Structure 1
């Protein structure tokens, strides 16, 4: 009877070890995915910021250039 009980306990322990290993693997994957998502968010935020800055600079340059051209045309 104790042989069967020991075999059953070993089987349960083996299953628990496999579950623990799988859980650790899943948590590692989620952590690496989180790092990737944060990196992607930072990159996209910086890209958007740079794009808006360039758009603003271009708009201001065109506005100033247009004012200068209008003054030359009016004189």
Structure 2
């Protein structure tokens, strides 16, 4: 976890590429977010909402794939 938190602190861009399985994010991505993007590290909650701490990240790209068009 510390390794990935260090990489997040040093990065200015994040790219997530993953397939959509059963209309959801794969467990490995959910686990990464739950374990690495922790409260106190990535954010805090203030009186008016969420306060982000990773201000160095200027851009996030999310690319997903499906085996077929939705609804088929």
Higher relative contact order by CA 8 Å / sep ≥ 6: 1 or 2? Answer: 2
Same fold (TM over 0.5): no
Question: What's the TM-score, normalizing by structure 1?
Answer: 0.20
By percentage of residues, which structure has more strand?
2
Considering only CA atoms, is the larger Rg found in Structure 1 or Structure 2?
1
Question: What's the TM-score, normalizing by structure 2?
Answer: 0.20
By percentage of residues, which structure has more helix?
1
